[in-house]
Structure 1
Amino acid sequence: MVSSQPQLPADFQAALASLRAAQKRTELKLEEIPAPTRLAPYGAALGAEVILDGEEQATGRFILLHDPDGSSLWEGTFRIVTYIRAQLEPDIGNDALLGNVAWAWLVEALDEHGAEHRSAGGTATRILSESYGTLAARPDAVDIELRASWTPVGPSVQAHLEAWSQMVCTFAGLPPVPDGVTLLPQRRRQP
């Protein structure tokens, strides 16, 4: 979870503790993955996937970077870098406003979780896959990718991971779940 460093700064240790305290939905599988080592002196990374009925519905990465000296580009000492990808139904995936919707999901999730931040930026990409020749029987597929980063205000990043986890589930097509409510298992519509 942490890039190889002998002594971790107190702020980074606090951030790691807040990551461990984050709550997530049961449909979301999180696991530690290697953090990039060239972007900051300290880093932690998580990979995520939502699998329903044996099929992957969404994947993502959540990377927490820390530079005790700070960065003028980040406007702080921490930076969160994320990635989410999901396959969508063609009628939804072909909507010209899909990128705007994906970005709105990010902003709303951060706001709903009280994840204070600044310097947010990102890209939303729609990918249309059409099959030909021996693969012509495959249905067209549309994927959405959201790559985003932002600077958390302070070392507590629990709310940021919880907001991002909600987004991965939203990309997978799972409805929001109010506090105290447990969803019954659902089956996704087959094409």
Structure 2
Amino acid sequence: MTGEETEVPQRFAAALRSLRGRRTRPEVRLVEIPGPRRVAPFSLAVEGEVVADAEEIATGRFVVLHDPAGQDTWRGDFRVVTLVRAQLEAELAADEMLGDVAWTWVTENLERSGVGAVAAGGTVTRVLSSSYGALAGTPDAVDLEIRASWTPTSTDLGAHLEVWADLMSTVGGLPPLPDGVTALDVRRRTVGP
């Protein structure tokens, strides 16, 4: 957590409490990292990865920004900024709808979760990598990157963290869990102590 002021605002403290101990799928691993210092007076950042069969299938970052004075472009005093990256099959690079489908994953996860969010925006980037020379045997690969941000309408940011973790899982190719089902694992996957 970063903050220029010595006292943490109550709304930011409530948001932090909502993030602590939040459970995610067993394939999702999270670690808190330093938040950006120049974008907002208070911030928190979490890095994540999705691991299936001992292989990393998606990575990302979840950042909470808080400006007690609010920001007009945010339409509020909080902003959630997310990043998700994954490598996909090369055949998908040619699909003209890939960007639209990937953005739909963002909007559908937000809608399905029922979290309040306004002013959502973002980008979807795909990069096709072809190898040559000594690396010619390496298959072509598509890297997909989704950057999305939105303004939460409450301080329950734990629900927004779950939306992002689900988005990483979706982009990584994991099937969605049926409604009402929570994936259990012997090891706890939570944010914070």
What is the TM-score normalised by the length of structure 2? 0.90
State the alpha-carbon separation in 2 of the partners of residues 182 and 43 from structure 1: 29
Residue 29 (1) aligns with residue 20 (2):
no
Aligned residues: 183
Alpha-carbon distance between aligned partners in 1 of 2:53 and 2:183, rounded to the nearest angstrom: 18
How much does 1:170 deviate? 0.5
1:123-151 deviation per Cα after TM superposition (whole angstroms, max 9, x unaligned)? 00011000001110100000110001110
Residue 180 of structure 1: aligned partner: 181
Runs of 4+ in structure 1 off by over 3 angstroms are 181-184
1:88 alignment counterpart: 88
Aligned to 1:106: 106
**TM-score, normalised by the number of residues in structure 1:** 0.91
Matches within 5 A, 1:121-160: 121-160=121-160
Partner of 2:38, secondary structure, is coil
What is the one-letter code of the residue matched to 2:50?
Answer: V
Gaps of 5+ in 1: 185-191
**TM-superposition CA deviations, 1:99-130 (whole Å, max 9, x none):** 11111011111111111111111000011000
Structure with higher RCO (Cα < 8 A, 6+ apart): 2
Post-superposition offset of 1:155 = 1.4
Task: Work out whether residues 19 and 158 of structure 2, in 8 Å CA contact, stay in contact via their aligned partners in 1.
Answer: yes
Distance 2:87 2:79 in 1: 27
Letter in 1 for 2:126: R
The CA RMSD over aligned residues, in Å, is: 1.6
Deviation at 1:90, TM superposition (A): 1.6
Share of identical aligned residues, percent?
A: 50
The letter for the 2-side match of 1:64 is: V
How far apart, CA to CA, are the structure 1 residues paired with 2:184 and 2:8? 39
Contact 2:62-2:83 at 8 Å conserved across structures: yes
SS of 2:104's partner is helix
1:54-77 CA deviation, whole Å, 9 max, x = no partner?
Answer: 322100000000000000010100
Q: Is this contact kept in 2: 1:50–1:58, CA < 8 A? A: yes
- 1:21 deviates by 4.5
- Counterpart in 2 of 1:164? 164
